[in-house]
Amino acid sequence: KAGVTQTPRYLIKTRGQQVTLSCSPISGHRSVSWYQQTPGQGLQFLFEYFSETQRNKGNFPGRFSGRQFSNSRSEMNVSTLELGDSALYLCASSSIGTFVGETQYFGPGTRLLVL
């Protein structure tokens, strides 16, 4: 089976722009979670989608949003980019969800730089 894929792998944006990141889960997985990793804050949970519905959400402002399509692919959008949004954005997939006690599989991440 192919692993979790994320596109693009690298991205440079300027303040005020918006960005959309994509995550394709392992075939058959219905849960996709998104995480932000920065040197200062470490890893932080953004949200989890399951069967096209946001099921869990971390403590991020409304500028961070996501969605999931019927084929389980997920997108994450950040509007009005700030310098502090520069980070590695990781997605992870699992069959039914890590919050119900299942191992998740991580993608390679998208490295976003905001100038």
Residue 74 beta carbon to other proteins: minimum distance, rounded to whole angstroms: 16
**In 3D, which of 31, 21, 23, 107 has the Cα closest to residue 73?**
23
CA 51 to CA 70: how far, in whole Å?
A: 7
Residues 31-70 that bind other proteins (CB under 8 A): 33, 37, 42-45, 48, 55-59
CB of 55 to other proteins, least distance (A): 7
Residues of span 70-89 touching other proteins by CB under 8 A: 88
* CA pair distance 22, 35, nearest whole angstrom: 13
Using DSSP, state whether 100 is helix, strand or coil. Answer: helix
For the CB of residue 114, give the shortest distance to other proteins in the complex, in Å: 18
CA distance 17 to 19: 7
Based on CB atoms, which residue is closest to other proteins, 37 or 79?
A: 37
Q: Is 85 helix (H, G, I), strand (E, B) or coil?
A: helix
Instruction: Give the amino acid at 69.
Output: F
Asked if 104 is part of the footprint of other proteins (rule: CB under 8 A), the reply reads yes
**Residues at the contact surface with other proteins, assessed by CB under 8 A:** 33, 37, 42-45, 48, 55-59, 88, 90, 92, 98-99, 101-106, 108-109, 111
